[in-house]
Amino acid sequence: MRVLPDTNIFISALMFPNSKPATVLLRIGSEHQMVLSQYVIDEVIKVVELKYPKGLSAAKELFTSMSFELISENDQTIVEISDIKDQPILNAAIAGDVDVIVSGDKHFKQLSLKKPRVLSPAEFIDLLEHIEDEHDLRELRAAMAEHEKNPVTISHAELMKEFGLDGE
C-alpha cells in the first residue's frame, strides 16, 4: 500500500515516541511504501525548528534514516481542500497515486475521496489489523484445505502422550 503521512503525524511521532502516530510511521516503514513530497518534509522541519528547536536534529535524522519514495510536487488541483496549506499535500498524493493519507487534520478528514483514502492514525492501525486478520483467516483456510487433502491420523494414546497426559 502506498501511504503518505501528513505533517502532523511526523510532529506527533517526534514529540510522543510511544504514540499511535509513531506506531503508524513504524508500520508504514516496515510493511508498506512510504510516499512523501518535499513539501511535507520541509513543513515538518519548519514546524520543528519553530516550535521544538531541540528536536530539529531528531527530525532531520528521521528523514535520513527512513526509506521513502519522494514524489514530485504538483500544482494542478483536481480536488480542492478547505485549507490552502494542505493543497500541495493533497495534489502530490493524487498525482503520486497514493492509496492512503494518514492525517489528524480535520481538513483532510472532511474530504470524501475513494483514493486516496484519508485515515486518522487509529483508523489506519485498525485497517492494518483487519488486513492481518483477513490474511490469518486465509492462511487458516488454506491449512484446513491442505489437511482435508492429506489428513493426519493419530491414536488417542499418541495424542495423550503428545500432551503429556499419558501418566508417565
**In sequence order, which residues have a C-beta less than 8 Å from that of residue 80 and are 6 or more positions away?**
87
Angle of the 87-95 helix axis to the 38-51 helix axis, nearest 10: 150
Tens digits of residue pLDDT in 109-143: 888 778 898 899 999 998 888 877 676 666 656 66
Calculate mean pLDDT across residues 1-17: 94
Verify that 113 and 138 share a domain, yes or no. Answer: no
SS3 label, residue 97 = coil
Distance CA 117, CA 94 (A): 10
Instruction: Kindly state the percentage of the chain with pLDDT values over 90.
Output: 52
154 and 102 co-located in one domain: no
Place 34 in a pLDDT band, splitting at 50, 70 and 90: very high
Torsion of CA 100, 103, 107, 108, to 10 degrees: 0
* 42: confidence class by pLDDT, cuts 50, 70, 90: very high
Same domain, 108 and 42: yes
Question: In this structure, what CATH number is given to the domain that contains residue 54?
Answer: 3.40.50.1010
The verdict on 100 and 133 lying in the same domain is no
**85 and 24 in a common domain:** yes
Residues 76, 108 share a domain: yes
Positive or negative, the Cα torsion across 66, 72, 75, 76?
negative
DSSP class of residue 113? -
Residues 100 and 146 in one domain: no
**Pair (19, 82) in one structural domain:** yes
134 and 59, same domain (yes or no)? no
SS3 60: helix
Domain total of the chain: 2
Residue 167 inside a domain? The answer is no
Structural domain that includes position 23: 2-122
Quickly state the pLDDT bin for 106 (edges 50, 70, 90).
confident
Residue 168 lies in a domain: no
Task: Please report where in the chains the cell 510511521 appears, as a residue.
Answer: 25
Same domain, 96 and 38: yes
Same domain, 97 and 14: yes
